[in-house]
Amino acid sequence: MATKQQHIDLVYQNLKRVAPGFKPERQLVEHSMGKAWSQILHNAFRKDLSFLDFYVKDYKDQAVSQDADTKQYYIDLPVAIAQLPDKSEGVRAVLRGDADYSTPAYTSTQYVPVSDTTMEQMDSLDCMNAESGVVGYAVRYDKIMFDRKMTAILAAKKVHLKLVVPFDVYDATENIPVPSGQGENLVMMTIQFLMGSNQQQQ
């Protein structure tokens, strides 16, 4: 696996051969590579998002807040998330902040993804009352909203988020996972995006 900086360096090296004299700013290369990486991820996993676990980053001890007017519990996402083709988008899991994996009951509270519309529809249904320890959440671009099963006690325990984050959230020294066999494609797609912007500039 290569770091973000190594991926970017590889693009510059290839550009020397493909488009001599064209030396775009690093920020533009990073942005283009981010677009290419998102597209590759989307194409690779649109049929089975369960393989995305490999791309997840952990964000522990995330505080849960409560809206003063609506009393709805929510979390401000600590970073931007990748957009993926299902309800939970880049939020691959929400777990209890105090989950202890050494005990069999660490999953005693389950957070399950629902859409905002579904949350409203299911409010009066039996599924909201029949089981304890099931809390629905809806993902927005910068927030996670919880249904009314979220309690002050659960909120106080905070949550552990497993997020798939966009390319630009990674530090230059961090390893970037790329779907197997797509490394070459990542560089070529990035160059295509850059050449497109280069033609527009000219």
Partner 1 sequence: MAELSGQKTLKQVVDELLFMTGQPKDNFMRYLQLAIRGFKEANILHLKGFAKVTKLTVSDIKTITLPDDYQSFVGVVVPINGEYWALSEKETLVFSQSGLTLDADDGEGVDIKDSYFFEYISSGGVNKEGYFKLEEKNNRIIINSVTAGSEVMLIYVSSGINEAGTNTYVPDRIIPMLHSYILYKDAMYHGQQYQYYQDEYHRELDKVKYIEMPGLSAFRDALYQTFNPLPKR
Q: Taking CB under 8 A as the criterion, which residues in 43-82 touch partner 1?
A: 48-50
Q: Whose CA is closest to 136, among 61, 73, 71?
A: 73
Residue 117 in contact with partner 1, rule: CB under 8 A:
no
Q: Binding of partner 1 at residue 175 (CB under 8 A)?
A: no
Interaction of residue 130 with partner 1, rule CB under 8 A:
yes
| 126 binds partner 1 per the rule CB under 8 A | yes
Find the shortest distance in angstroms from Cβ 122 to partner 1. Answer: 6
* Residue 140, number of CB atoms within 10 A of its CB: 12
131 - beta bridge partners? none
How many other β-carbons are positioned within 10 Å of the β-carbon of residue 142? 11
Asked whether position 123 contacts partner 1 by CB under 8 A, the answer is no
Q: Which of 76, 131, 142, 174 binds partner 1 (CB under 8 A)?
A: 131
Min separation Cβ 2 and partner 1, Å: 30
Among residues 77, 82, 114, 154, the one that binds partner 1 under rule CB under 8 A: 114
Place of tokens 């676990």: 53
Q: CA–CA separation, 81 vs 91, rounded Å?
A: 7
CA dist 66 and 74 (Å) reads 6
Neighbours of 130 (CB within 10 A): 8
* 112 is an interface residue for partner 1 by CB under 8 A: yes
Instruction: Kindly list the residues in this chain that would bind partner 1 in the complex (CB under 8 A).
Output: 48-50, 86-88, 110, 112-114, 118, 122, 125-127, 129-134, 136
